[in-house]
Structure 1
Amino acid sequence: MFTLDVTEEIKLALVQDSFAKLYAPLVAKQQTYLSQWLAWPSFCQTEQDFQQFVQRSLHEYADKKSVTCAIFYQDNLVGNIGLHEINHDLQRACIGYWLSEELQGKGIVTLSCQKMLEYAFGTLSMELVQLRAAKENTASRAVAERLGMSLEGIISRNERVQDRVLDHAVYALRKSDWQEKHSEK
């Protein structure tokens, strides 16, 4: 199984069938919170829904279009992170994630994103990684800024989530900027 060790307490693992039974109750518990910013929670609720999600994710991984990982914190599944829209021609990908509300503020997402960026720029040879977040999602926008990403712009009316139409802030990080930042350490 593909795994990335972030810290002793945080691990990223490529999604697998056995995770479906873990996702369903977690997302059910986080339904209201996740639905503020994400469209999929109202459509993905049962173990069978998550089985389909895992299978689709594994097919996209096999096709080199995405890398979707579960986030484990202290051996418990607590969220998801992935690289999607991987374009090997343009050497570009997008990063996305979600985390249980009660675990926010512990650095789990920022550290997990750093590990995925390392994977994107190193293993996958990407030259650019984007992060898109709702304009009003200050927590995700702060993650992008902590990662050293630059705001590229705002896309108006980019996504419908529940009864709202959201604008998206688009952030990006170039491989050269990532390398420069990490060579200073």
Structure 2
Amino acid sequence: MFKLDIDDTLSLALVQPSFAVDYLAIVSRDRDYLAQWLVWPEHGKNQEFFARFIEQSLHDYALGKSMTCGIVFKGELVGNISFNTINHSLKKVEIGYWLSRPQQGKGIVTKAVAKMIEIAFTQLNMEKAQISAAEQNSPSRRVCERLGFTLEGIITRAENLNGRVVDHAIYGLSREIWSEQSR
């Protein structure tokens, strides 16, 4: 299993079939919370849903199109982070993430996103990282701002979250700015 330690308590692990049962448990418990900002929790009602997600994620990883990792905190799978897309021709990755409700507010996502940015710029040779967050999703937007992303704009009517249409705040971070901030 590919696993990357961030610190003594936090690591990222490439998704694997055994994660399906844990993903189902998290989503079953936190479905309403996650569905505020994500369209898929309403559909993730059995282990097969997550098994298919993991299988597709591993297939896309093998093709170099994306990279999906579980977030592991104190030995427990607590969420997910990914390069939803890896665009080699544009040298750009799009980062997405979600975290179980009980683990919110501990800096877990900020550290995980910071590690993904490092991977994008140092290992994948990307020039830009991008994050799209619902305009009203303040916690996600604060992660972007803490990590030095720039708000590039608001896309209106960007997503239908199971009947609720939301606008997206688009944040970007260039390798150049990241390098300057990392010094």
Same fold (TM over 0.5): yes
Q: Tell me which residue corresponds to 2:105.
A: 105
Q: Do structure 1's residue 170 and structure 2's residue 170 form an aligned pair?
A: yes
Give me the identity figure in percent: 49
Uncovered stretches (5+) of structure 1, i.e. residues with no partner: none
Task: Note the aligned Cα RMSD (angstroms).
Answer: 0.7
CA distance in 2, matches of 1:126, 1:37: 27
CA distance in 2, matches of 1:71, 1:27: 14
Matched position secondary structure for 1:79 = strand
Shift of 1:45: 2.0
Q: Tell me which residue corresponds to 1:133.
A: 133
User: Which deviations, in whole Å up to 9, do the C-alpha atoms of 1:137-166 show, x marking residues without a partner?
Assistant: 001000000010000000000000022101
CA distance in 2, matches of 1:132, 1:29: 25
CA distance in 1, matches of 2:156, 2:13: 34
Q: Tell me which residue corresponds to 1:124.
A: 124
CA distance in 2, matches of 1:8, 1:123: 22
CA distance in 2, matches of 1:130, 1:101: 24
CA distance in 2, matches of 1:57, 1:20: 12
CA distance in 2, matches of 1:83, 1:107: 19
Shift of 1:80: 0.2
CA distance in 2, matches of 1:4, 1:169: 29
Q: Tell me which residue corresponds to 1:148.
A: 148
Moved over 6 A (4+): none
Shift of 1:135: 0.3
State the one-letter code of the partner of 1:85: T
User: Which deviations, in whole Å up to 9, do the C-alpha atoms of 1:46-67 show, x marking residues without a partner?
Assistant: 1111000000000110010101
State the one-letter code of the partner of 1:136: Q
- Contact map agreement 1:4 1:115 (CA 8 A) in 2: no
Counterparts in 2 of 1:1-185, with a 5 A limit? 1-183=1-183
User: Which deviations, in whole Å up to 9, do the C-alpha atoms of 1:3-24 show, x marking residues without a partner?
Assistant: 1111110010000011111111
Aligned length: 183
State the one-letter code of the partner of 2:179: Q
State the one-letter code of the partner of 1:64: G
